[in-house]
Structures are given as structure tokens and as C-alpha cells.
Amino acid sequence: MKKNQKSLDLDTARVSHGSGYLTTNQGVGVNNTDDSLKAGKRGPTLMEDFIFREKITHFDHERIPERIVHARGSGAHGYFQVYENLSHLTKAHFLSDPNLITPVFVRFSTVAGFRGSPDTVRDVRGFAVKFYTQEGNYDIVGNNMPVFFIQDAIKFPDLIHSVKPEPNNEMPQAASAHDTFWDFVVNTPETMHNVMWLMSPRAVPKSYRTMEGFGINTFRLVNTKGEFKFVKFHWKPLLGVHSLVWDEAEKIAGKDPDFNRRDLWENIENGNPVEFELGIQVLNPEDEFKFDFDILDCTKLWPEELIPVQKIGKMTLNQNVNNFFAETEQIAFCPANVVPGIDFSNDPMLQGRLFSYLDTQISRLGGPNFQQIPINRPLPKVNNNQRDGMHRMTIDEGQTSYYPNSLNNGEPHAARDGESHFEHYQEKVDGHIIRERSASFRDHYTQPAMFWNSMSDWERAHIIDAFRFQLGKCKNKNTHQRLVDMLGNVDPVLAQKVAEGLGATPPANATNPTTAASPALSMENTAKSPK
């Protein structure tokens, strides 16, 4: 297989330990690593045994903190190619030339479990892609469901605290099967849409090769004329979407906790390429307020019948990692990693995410220099005045480390016209500083009802069983009732069936919004920001 540019870059960091005599980290030869140095055959080990101390000290520090979420993951290398020149939409160079091969690294993950937790649990799956473009690293850090549980990043710690094992006894391990998660859900109705997806077969993918990916948040594409369009990103697996049966997923979790990881690894090892098409939904700025949902609300999807997904390119994963820790564990994705031509929206989830990833990685990867770890370094030369800090790997030469300077003829200089550089889209922002959202953020049931209506009979049966099973693990009967009442706003039959399974009372006044004309398909304007 021909190596891509990133693989060649990684080659410069690879070290083979196949032959030769053992040494310490100082390069001093060692002829015995089995016996520590003792005072007599039966005496205590001596402090001066630097060979013992070095070996044990390194071992003592072999672990780094696991990711605070998405700790369990599997990664692979590959490449991306765009189908057509998209320069009318974006100046992103890697989306302009169908002949250009852009190396990628992808990490699939579960969200709630620990690093060693089983693959086939009911959970959202992470789908994070790093493009090593010629203009720098670009990341799409998405999930396998098109919406998220909450509307504002400030609630993320609450969501995750409710999903993780409870703090007093670190139980239970199953994320969507305990009191705190369901307590959060019934107190936070904006979770309803993602909870519907979580109870569906999408939450137990058969393979990482057969699940969709979604960037979820709204972004912008910006072209050289400075014109922009809103965009949502999609990954479509060429093998189609396939899920496990729930009963089978549970058994596999016990029998083969590495089920999805092994499937990915073995297929790549056997030369079966893993392929996804990249799709975009594009929205003209003048249509921003034409929907009954706010396009900045990530608990809502953009209905594909209104805004079709255009397939713009293909990603092929074809190379396994050489070292799990160095590549899959140390890779650092961040939604703020964008290249010229791709920009953010004001989605309050996205805005918070832009802060969180770099922040957490400074502690997870041991300081501010983790971008120098081989898997994270970009293909273009990094050229700036940042210096020093823990684990700095480069020897940055020269007298000056500031700009502007005269002592080094003003170099390195701020990028000039014609030199690749990022410029933020110059959006006009004019409003009051408030902690509020558009009114349509409060509609928590229209899209869950659309989702329920789009399900086939077997999918509905799966969802009802999942609610009964997962909520059945929750001891608090009051929570059961409140959840059933919420489901009454999605569909009365769903609410009734779940209530029957839990011994709760079906909601008396449950309306069925799905029998009314679907407002999501209307072009009524309710999404304007409060002034």
C-alpha cells in the first residue's frame, strides 16, 4: 500500500525495538533486568539500583488520564477525496481538487464507558475525523446521531455527571440505565429528541463500518468572495446502516467486549476498505429564519426532504495503527480546528465546545505542547513564537520569539495576501447580552414525534422495549411517571406502551402533535433571536 503524507510523517517518529542489547533511557547497556541489586543474596534492595528505579518509575507513570468522555475508542488511518471542485462554496483547498488525496485519522468511540468498557452497550457513538490538509488540521468531531441532548454547552457537565456512574458508589456502569440519567432527562425536556434516538437501534451499531456520522452543529462554508452558506456535515457508510438486535448486543458485551473494535481492525487488516461518503446540507443565509426551528439549536435536525444531503466526497480507511497509545489514545480532536473556508456558527453548543477540547487536552496530554505529538502535528510547518512549556519537543532556534521584531527582519511574519491564512467570517452581531435562547428552542416534542412517525413497526417495538428495559433499571417510580408523561407529548401509543411495561399511568391528556400538520415542514418564522 502506498503511504500517504501523514504516514510518512509518522515514520520519522517510529522506532523499532526488534534487536540489539537492552539499555537504560540514558543508553547505558543492561545485562540483567530480572534481579534487583541486593546487599547479599537475601538482603534488601539497594537505593543505588538506578536500573531498577528507572524501570519501575517509568512503569509507574505509563498511564495518562482517559478522556473525560468518549474514553473507549478505536482508530484507523485513511484518506479523503472530494468528488468535485467546491470552490463556489468554500475556499478550503482540500475541497477544491478531486485529484488531491488528504490523509485522515478517524476515531470511533462510545461516550459514557471507561477505556476498558464493552463496545456494544446502548450509547451514542463518537465519529471524529482529523483531515491532515495542506492548510493545517481540520477536524469534524461528530456523533452517530444527528442531534444532541442539550442546547447549550454550559449544561454539558450536568449531562455527563448524570450519565457517568454515580459518584458515591461508581455504579451502575450502563449509562442509560440508572436513576441519575433519567432524573436529568425528566428535568431537562430538551433531551427528548436525542433520548428517542438513544432508545432506537441506532444506539447499538453492528459495526463502526455501518453507522452514519453527523457533525451535528451548524457551521459555515465561506468562499474566496467572502460569501457564506450554513452547512451541516454527514457521513454515510457505503455498506448502509446496520444495527445489532438488543438482546444480541447484551450477550456480545459479555462474550466479546472488543466486538466493534475487532471488526474494524480485522477488516482493515484483511484489506477490506472501510468507506464513508461525506455529505453536506447547505442553507442560504437568507433562509436562516424560514423554519419553525432555530438552525442554531442542535437538538433539531434539518429535515432532509427540505434540505437534501449532497454527497461531496469519499473517505477510505485502509491502515491500522502501529501503536494504540501513540496514535488512537494520544490523538486530540477539537471542533475549533478549522481551515480557511470553514467557519463556526453561533450555535451555543458549538461555541462552548470551541473552548472545552483544547482545555481538557492540556491536562490529558500533559501540557500545552501536545500538538507536537506525532499523531497531532499538522503537515504544514508550524511557525510561530510559542516557546517552552512542559514536554516541548522542538529546539526552537534564534534570538527572537516575538512579533513584530526588527532583529530577525520581521520574521516569521503575519500571513500576507496570497499566503494561506484563516480569517473569521465578519458576521454583524448586534444584540443585548443575555442568558436566553430563541423561543423555538422550547419546542421539545415536534421533532421527536417526527422521528417516531418515521419508524417502522420493528423499530417502534425496539424503542418501546428499550424504554421499558432501561427505565426498569431506574428505581425511582416518580421518574418513570414523569418520563411517561413526556412521551405523551411524542405519541400517545408510545406513552401507553411504555407505561404498561413500567406499571405507570398513561398520560390522560396526551395530545398527539403528529396528527397535526408537521410544523417542521412549514416555513413559518419563529426562530428569530430575542432582541
Catalytic machinery residues: 70, 143
> Considering beta carbons, is residue 329 or 491 the nearer one to ligand HEM?
329
Lookup: cell for 274: 472501510
Of 228, 450, 224, the C-alpha closest to 346 is 228
469 Cα distance to chain centroid: 27
Name the residue number minimizing CB distance to ligand HEM. Answer: 126
Using rule CB under 6 A, residue 69 touches ligand HEM: yes
* CA 252 distance to own-chain centroid: 24
| Site track for ligand HEM across 71-110, x = CB under 6 A | --x---------------------------------x-x-
How far is 512 from 399, CA to CA, in rounded Å? 71
Residue found by looking up cell 419546542 in the block: 443
Give the interface size with ligand HEM as a residue count (CB under 6 A): 28
Residue 387 labelled as part of a binding site: no
Of 93, 262, 364, 437, the residue at the interface with ligand HEM (CB under 6 A) is: 364
Please give the residues from 187 up to 216 whose contact with ligand HEM meets the rule CB under 6 A: 216
CB of 133 or CB of 194, closer to ligand HEM: 194
Site string for ligand HEM, 213-242 (x = CB under 6 A): ---xx-------------------------
What are the cell numbers at 309?
Answer: 444531503
Q: Is 357 annotated as a binding residue?
A: yes
**What DSSP string describes 332-365?**
---TT---TTEEE---HHHHHHHHHHHHHHHHHT
Least CB distance to ligand HEM at residue 17 (A): 27
Q: How far is the CB of 74 from ligand HEM (least distance, A)?
A: 9
In DSSP notation, 405-430 reads -STTTTPSPPPPTTS-----------
Instruction: Please report whether residue 295 would count as binding ligand HEM according to CB under 6 A.
Output: no
Phi and psi at 69, nearest 5°, equal -135, 165
Beta strands in 27-154 (DSSP E): 73-82, 102-110, 125-133, 136-143
| From 94, 181, 228, 357, residue interacting with ligand HEM (rule: CB under 6 A) | 357
User: Of 233, 235, 190, which Cα lies nearest the Cα of 344?
Assistant: 233
Contact in structure between 340 and 122 (CB atoms under 8 Å): no
Q: Residues 385 to 404: which contact ligand HEM by CB under 6 A?
A: none
Binds ligand HEM (CB under 6 A): choice among 6, 67, 122, 232: 67
Nearest Cα to Cα of residue 208 among 143, 131, 255, 112: 143
Task: Compute the least distance from the CB of residue 15 to ligand HEM, in Å.
Answer: 24
- Residue 449 found at the interface with ligand HEM (CB under 6 A): no
Where do contacts with ligand HEM occur on this chain (CB under 6 A)? 67-70, 73, 107, 109, 126, 128, 141-143, 148, 153, 156, 216-217, 298, 332-333, 349, 352-353, 356-357, 360-361, 364
Q: Which residue ranges make up the annotated binding site for heme?
A: 67, 107, 156, 353, 357, 364
